[in-house]
Amino acid sequence: MKNVFIIALAFLAISCGNDTQDLTVKVHVDGLKKGTVYLEQQQDSAFVIVDSIVVNGNPEFELHSNLSEPQVLFLKLNKNDNDYRYISFFADKGITEIKTTLKNFNFDASIKGSKQQDVLEEYLLMISKFNDKNLDLIKEHFESEKSNDSTGFDFESQYNTLIKRKYLYTINFAVNHKDSEVSPYLALTEIPNTSVKYLETIYEALNDNIKASLYGKELKAEIEARKADSTSVSTNTEEAQ
Q: Is residue 138 part of a domain?
A: yes
173 in the same domain as 107: no
Give Cα 97 distance to the centre of its chain: 16
Q: How far apart are CA 64 and CA 72, in angstroms?
A: 14
Q: Which secondary-structure segment (H or E) carries 57?
A: none
Q: Is residue 125 part of a domain?
A: yes
Domain boundary among 55, 78, 113: 113
212 in the same domain as 147: yes
CATH number at residue 48: 2.60.40.1120
Q: How far apart are CA 143 and CA 149, in angstroms?
A: 9
What does the CA dihedral 78, 81, 83, 84 come to, rounded to 10 degrees? 20
The model's pLDDT over 180-201, given as tens digits with 9 standing for 90+, comes to: 999 999 999 999 889 999 999 9
Contact predicate 211/238, CB 8 Å:
no
107 in the same domain as 121: no
Pinpoint the alpha helices (H) of 67-206: 115-146, 155-176, 182-189, 196-205
- Chunk the chain into consecutive blocks of 10 residues (it has 241) and report each block's average pLDDT, rounded to whole numbers: 44 42 93 96 92 96 96 95 92 98 96 97 94 84 72 79 94 98 97 93 98 98 92 56 50
The domain in which residue 181 lies consists of 117-234
169 in the same domain as 86: no
150 in the same domain as 89: no
Q: Is residue 239 part of a domain?
A: no
Considering its fold, how many domains does the chain have in total? 2
Q: What is the CA radius of gyration of the chain?
A: 23
44 in the same domain as 7: yes
